[in-house]
Amino acid sequence: MFSATPKPVLDHPKPGGTGGNGEAPASRSGPSPFERASAPESGISVIGTDLTLLGEKISIVSQNKLQVDGDVRGNVHGKQVVITAEGSVVGMVCAEKIEVLGGVRGSIRAVTVKLHDTAQVEGDIMHHTLAISEGAQFDGRVRRSTDPQELMPILDPEVIATRPHDNDGGMD
């Protein structure tokens, strides 16, 4: 199990120390991983079918398009959110545009909301434009806003973190 023979020294640098050749490690050239990254102009983020996100008062924030193929137990904020037929969200969903093919148990708040024929929604919807396809299952209240600006999502994580937990989307 243990050997008295010494292991050879490799010339590969080790994290946090010096390399086998005695040189100091190269300094990190990019920004700190703990600093907020700049948002790309376009792109899509995917929560895959093999992924389940759980947690108390969890919020997912996407600056662009977010596709939910897996299960989220928390709030979702994004510019555009698509919940696919395999996806589900138990929590509030806020975006400029939301398409639901899967399930949502919680409030939906968006300028444009589309429930496809496979959608299953249990919760209130606040919208400016709403489309519900034949076959979609919906149980909740609907309120149309005459001002689309009041429905624009807040996509700043710092602001979301300081707001009180809002599960009803301001429907009352």
Q: Which residues are within 8 A (CB) of 104 and not within 5 positions of it... i.e. 6 or more apart?
A: 83, 88, 89, 90, 93, 119, 120, 121, 122, 123
Average pLDDT on 3-26 reads 49
> How much of the chain, in percent, has pLDDT values that exceed 90?
53
Residue 29 lies in a domain: no
The one-character DSSP state at 157 is H
Residue 22 lies in a domain: no
Burial string for 7-24 (b: 16+ CB within 10 Å, else e) reads eeeeeeeeeeeeeeeeee
Domain count for the chain:
1
**pLDDT at 40 (0 to 100):** 58
Global pTM exceeds 0.85: no
Residue 99 lies in a domain: yes
Contact 169, 109 (CB under 8 A): yes
> How much of the chain, in percent, has pLDDT values that exceed 70?
70
Quick one: residue 57, left, alpha or beta (phi over 0 = left, psi -120 to 50 = alpha)? Answer: left
Answer yes or no: is pLDDT of 31 > 80: no
Residue 17 lies in a domain: no
Residue 105 lies in a domain: yes
**pLDDT at 93 (0 to 100):** 97
Distance CA 89, CA 72 (A): 5
Burial class, 106, CB count within 10 angstroms (exposed 0-12 / middle 13-18 / buried 19+): buried
Contact 167, 92 (CB under 8 A): yes
**pLDDT at 24 (0 to 100):** 52
Average pLDDT on 16-26 reads 50
Average pLDDT on 18-37 reads 57
| Domain span holding position 148 | 44-159
pLDDT tens per residue across span 57-107: 888 999 899 999 999 999 999 999 999 999 999 999 999 999 999 999 999
Residue 106 lies in a domain: yes
Residue 143 lies in a domain: yes
Secondary structure class of 130 (helix, strand, coil): strand
64 CB neighbour count, 10 Å cutoff? 15
Mean pLDDT of the chain: 82
